[in-house]
Amino acid sequence: MTATDPDTRVGRELLRFPPDFLWGAATAAFQIEGATAVDGRGPSIWDTFAATPGKVAGGDTGEPACDHYRRYASDVRIMADLGLRAYRFSLAWPRIQPTGAGPVEPRGLAFYDRLVDELLAHGIQPVATLYHWDLPQALEDRGGWRDRDTAHRFAEYAALAHAHLADRVRTWTTLNEPWCSAFLGYGTGVHAPGLVDPRGALEAAHHLLLGHGLAVRAMRSAAPADHRFSLVLNLCSVRVDHDDETHRAAAHKVDGLQNRLFLDPLAGRGYPEDVLAETAWLGDWSRVVRAGDLEAVATPIDWLGVNYYSPTRVAPAPAGQVTDGPFAGLRGVALLPPRGEVTGFGWEVDARAFTDLLERLGRDVPVPLVVTENGSAFVDVVAGGAVLDTGRTRYLVDHLRAVHAAIARGVDVRGYFAWSLLDNFEWAAGYSQRFGIVHVDYATQVRTVKRSGHTLAGVIRRNAVPASGYDVV
């Protein structure tokens, strides 16, 4: 599928990607749009959370973000200049259904009409995510993802958003990283809605998966045959220092709670027995699973989106430690701090762990994979109209080589989306962390393509990454 050959221009080896490999960049509505109170948009859980003192660094909110709601056309021109073939963005549910149910807000849908039309006019394929964490607050007030009804409301919203854009958007993702929505939103409370309810987190995980399955069913039943449906997971690549029984057991627990809790029911295997046993002390949370739910969750998808940033280091907890750590189900497991090279955000850099994860998924997941997010946050300096983001550029190139290595070993990876197109609102870290391949000056809204952005453009032009070195531009 892939080949290496010399780059005649600079006389070095190139690692070529498959001919129709899909190159893009990703964003999410709440992180870039701003305009949180215009055109009938309702409040989301992230508006509420960010307005709560102490929840988001610097007291940052979704305003102004990148003001993308108004600047989408010039942002699409930047994408076209970079040569992106696809753009992964999310639709804001509270723009389309301000209270999460009932009538559509036409002005909200009209924004996505404008965005999609602009993308298509520039030859960029739209890849729409229906839910990237901005639950309408009105639904949270009724229990949010801990309430089964939210799954049904989500499927209804998905069907109407799909119906509206189906003539132009063929590639759809239901949820982005349901693990985060469940475990950070309802487990540790570091994300909206900020609740600490370990059992509720597991119930939310089921309702998210149910919502996903019901949404795929609803969309597919009305979709032309060439429409593609998917789910995006943040799966972890677990690292241990020793290959012995206790370390393997610790790794297995983490794999259970973050990976198999999602992959198994998607594959029709139901929830993993070991995860059910580990979380049994919370009471039988799986009582929320009703007849027919698991069939709905296992509704076939066309590809799986994989978001990868950093490995997860674990070890057996010191003798006597009996807590579950931050997440229910991890009793006896110590989550270790990053080590070695880290990004500006302090996240460990390990491209090899990315290849390992893709290879494992290639074995376990029966559908093609798409890397729907991968990237790094570093402190950037704009000097002379340029951003020489060496750290991010190295991370990008190394991780592209990691994807290439997985493909070369036979894993069916169909595309790569850099996170993120633009610097943006990084959730609880506010605007303090920059993941963009394009710099955003939040005061002036001036955009500057970083070296990493030019590098991605070079990779896309050649459909290849150099086997060594970082000079792709």
User: Is 177 an annotated catalytic residue?
Assistant: yes
Q: How far is the CB of 310 from ligand IFM (least distance, A)?
A: 10
The amino acid present at 130, given as its one-letter code, is L
C-beta closer to ligand IFM: residue 88 or 454 = 88
Whose tokens are 């010039």? That residue is 74
C-beta of 90: minimal distance to ligand IFM in Å? 9
Of 272 and 436, which CB lies nearer to ligand IFM in the complex structure? 436
Q: Is 352 helix (H, G, I), strand (E, B) or coil?
A: helix
Binding site for ligand IFM (CB under 6 A): 28, 31, 177, 307, 373, 419, 426, 435
Read off the tokens for 377: 């946050």
Dihedral over alpha carbons 207, 211, 212, 215 (to 10 degrees) = 170
Q: Please calculate the CA angle 26-349-313 and round it to the nearest 5 degrees.
A: 110
Which of 24, 227, 28, 207 is closest to 131 using CA atoms? Answer: 28
Burial class of residue 337 in the structure, from the number of CB atoms within 10 Å of its CB (0-12 exposed, 13-18 middle, 19+ buried): exposed
CB-nearer residue toward ligand IFM: 183 or 271 = 183
Q: Do you know the residue count of the chain? A: 473
228, burial (CB in 10 Å: exposed 0-12, middle 13-18, buried 19+): middle
Catalytic residue among 156, 203, 278, 373: 373
Q: Judge contact between 448 and 439, C-beta under 8 A.
A: yes
Cα of 47 vs its chain's centroid, Å: 20
Question: What are the phi and psi torsion angles at 126 (to 5°)?
Answer: -80, 135
Is residue 156 part of the annotated active site? The answer reads: no
Give yes or no for a contact between 12 and 466, defined as CB atoms under 8 angstroms apart.
yes
CB of residue 143 vs ligand IFM: minimum separation in angstroms? 24
- Among 177, 203, 278, 348, which one carries the catalytic annotation? 177
Least distance between ligand IFM and beta carbon 350 (Å): 16
Distance of alpha carbon 206 from alpha carbon 339, whole angstroms: 33
CB of 31 to ligand IFM, least distance (A): 6
d(CA 12, CA 10): 6
Tell the smallest beta-carbon distance from residue 195 to ligand IFM (Å).
19
Q: Which residues are catalytic?
A: 177, 373
